[in-house]
Amino acid sequence: MRVLFIGDVVGSPGRQGLRETMPQLRERHAPDLVIVNGENSAGGMGITERTANDLFGAGADVITSGNHVYRHREAYEFLDREERVLRPANYPQANPGRGHGVFEAGGMKVRVINLSGGVGLRVARSPFDAVDSILDHHDADAVIVDFHAEVTSEKVAMGWHLDGRAAAVLGTHTHVPTADGRVLPGGTAFVSDVGMTGSRESVLGVKPEQALRSLITQMPTRFETAEENVWVMGALVEVNQRGLADSFEQVMVPAVG
């Protein structure tokens, strides 16, 4: 089974870039399951039913998220209703949405788990405890984890924590692709951050002049999504019948449009 994972889609430029590039990605990689992190899909921050449906229309089978998932209140009912959209599993249990789900792909049952890091981000409990609790009671053939975390040390630790128990632990949130992608000794594909799907002429998807103004003046600044030179970034993981990874491949391609 081949899993194509797409990093944080930023605003309408990211959504359009993914939509235009997905046919090329499907032809090249022939994925059985496409997972897209969509937590920045609505104006560069948050997700809505409209932007989620846009990502589904582009080819996503499952959408994960992160710390901006509750930015738009109108999305709360949608998160409760749509089982294919996930929020971090280590958020309060009463919060809208769900943190993991099982999806059929390539003749396998795949449990996709969305986690938030606990360092520098607000969570209800440790991501390590949360994922252990889920895995203690799961019966899927393979596990894919989107670890939406701030610091690389916590991400690397999660990779080792789940080595041999998950097919892949793929880092998101920091938007910059890292060079540590590989298959760990126990058979878990890992990368600290897969990168973002959005403008490379930006500061993490924001127009450079606005990000610079905020950093230099320390004053409130209205951010807008950058539009030029959109790239699609992510990872391809080949999963064997034992539910572990045979290979990891970084995906970084300019959008077709």
Residues classed as catalytic = 68
CB 49 within 8 A of CB 74: yes
Distance CA 170, CA 150 (A): 13
Q: In the numeric block, which tokens belong to residue 3? A: 């899993």
Contact present, 10 and 207 (Cβ < 8 Å) = no
Q: Which of 150, 148, 255 is nearest to 201 (CA)?
A: 255
In angstroms, the CA 83 to CA 90 distance is 17
- Closest C-alpha among 236, 241, 249, 235 to residue 172: 235
- Cα distances (angstroms) measured from residue 12 to each of 15, 41, 123, 199: 5, 7, 28, 11
Which of 111, 134, 115, 137 is CA-nearest to residue 126? Answer: 115
Hey, CA dihedral for 14, 150, 102, 100, is it positive or negative?
negative
Within 13 Å and on the Cβ side, how many CA atoms surround 75? 25
**Under 8 Å between Cβ of 176 and 233:** no
Q: Give dist(CA 60, CA 150) in Å, integer.
A: 24
Residue with tokens 């738009």: 72
